[in-house]
Structure 1
């Protein structure tokens, strides 16, 4: 179980509460859609949950192990288990999909490995296995700059898994993608939850959250206003977080 108690995030020189005392708990294997109007704090919430932002206050526990107490960012031990997927993944455009999966992001591997791409054979096979699972084996030796948006997102997911992520926070991962590519990315994320017990929290449009997610959080002005499992939102619920 992952538990969040009174997550608070101050911005603008600690003058404004961007996230306001959020408390929630969830289990491995859940795919959670975060919905809400622009400026509601969705991206900031994802970055805090993925330990990419320092909390101003609050506690964060995983399976009764304290990750954050009274604010802070969490140790590297826990950050390495989290992945944050941006709208446009930060891949190295002149390196192949395989190299991007292997060398990861700054902070995940040694400087030497990032620069040279030197890897162990078991790392290589693990990366190829992940690319194959997500239909990218034929793209392994294609430079990332030549991949489609959906392919880049799936490469970023493979990279996260190879580097040990059990928790994935995805910030509008299908924005700008065609419907077929968006469906493939979301099905990939959903399969990670259902088949591997990963936890995915993704900021999504309401119609996609209702279609793909097992649970929906509604955020407005930095507050968690809705927490709904296993069904679509009612019209009243959508109004409560300014979605209609």
Structure 2
């Protein structure tokens, strides 16, 4: 169980309030889409949950422990278990898809492994298993620069899972992808939520959010104005989104 209470965050030198009083409860296996007009704080919310941005105030409880008041080990676990996927996936174009999955991101991987590229056989098999589950086994030996945008997004998902992610925070993960690639990425995330208990919080276009999510948050005026199960939003709930 994840509980967030009274999350507030201001940005810029003038400390403009973006998030004022955000709160929610989150169960394993949920696929949440965050909606809102430009500047409503969607990306800021994801960055706060990933602990990439400092909170101005609020409580962030995971299994009863307030991460913000705990020591460095709790925050380290969040950075490992809460994977942040940006719109433009960062992969090493000179490494194969498999190597990108194995080496991972700095917050998830020991420095010596990133420096040497050395991996254990168990890690190798785990990465291959994830690539197979995500339909990318035949891409394992290709350099990431040879992959499509949708394939790179799925490589990033595989990388997060191999390195222990229980939550994925995806900031516009399908922007710029063709419709079929976008659907493939979202189908992958939805299936992982159903089969593994992975929890996803994503910033998505309205149409795709309504189709793929189990839960929808509409951010407005620094709070979650609407929190509903995955469905087509009413006209009132859509106000200001289009």
**Under TM normalisation by the shorter chain, which class is it?**
over 0.9
Partner residue of 1:167? 167
**Structure 1 residue 74: Cα displacement:** 5.7
Deviations 1:16-44 (A, max 9, x none): 21211101111111000111111111011
Deviations 1:36-82 (A, max 9, x none): 11111101101111222211110011121221249x99621222111
Deviations 1:150-189 (A, max 9, x none): 0000000000000000011000111111111111100011
Q: Indicate if the aligned counterparts of 1:134 and 1:188 stay in contact, CA closer than 8 A.
A: yes
TM-score with structure 2 length normalisation? 0.95
Secondary structure of the structure 1 residue equivalent to 2:233 = coil
| CA distance in 1: counterparts of 2:142 and 2:10, whole angstroms | 42
Partner residue of 1:187? 187
CA RMSD of aligned residues (A): 1.7
| CA distance in 2: counterparts of 1:236 and 1:47, whole angstroms | 28
Partner residue of 2:120? 120
| CA distance in 2: counterparts of 1:131 and 1:196, whole angstroms | 15
Partner residue of 1:153? 153
Regions of 4+ moved over 2 Å: 220-223
Residue 50 (structure 2) pairs with residue 62 (structure 1): no
Q: Indicate if the aligned counterparts of 2:8 and 2:21 stay in contact, CA closer than 8 A.
A: yes
Secondary structure of the structure 1 residue equivalent to 2:67 = strand
Q: Indicate if the aligned counterparts of 1:50 and 1:167 stay in contact, CA closer than 8 A.
A: no
Distance 1:63 1:14, change over 3 A: farther
Aligned length: 241
Q: Indicate if the aligned counterparts of 2:50 and 2:78 stay in contact, CA closer than 8 A.
A: no
| CA distance in 2: counterparts of 1:173 and 1:51, whole angstroms | 19
Partner residue of 2:31? 31
Secondary structure of the structure 2 residue equivalent to 1:61 = strand
- The gaps in structure 2 that reach 5 residues or longer are none
Q: Indicate if the aligned counterparts of 1:4 and 1:61 stay in contact, CA closer than 8 A.
A: yes
| CA distance in 1: counterparts of 2:206 and 2:97, whole angstroms | 31
**Structure 1 residue 102: Cα displacement:** 0.4
Partner residue of 1:144? 144
**Structure 1 residue 147: Cα displacement:** 0.5
Partner residue of 1:22? 22
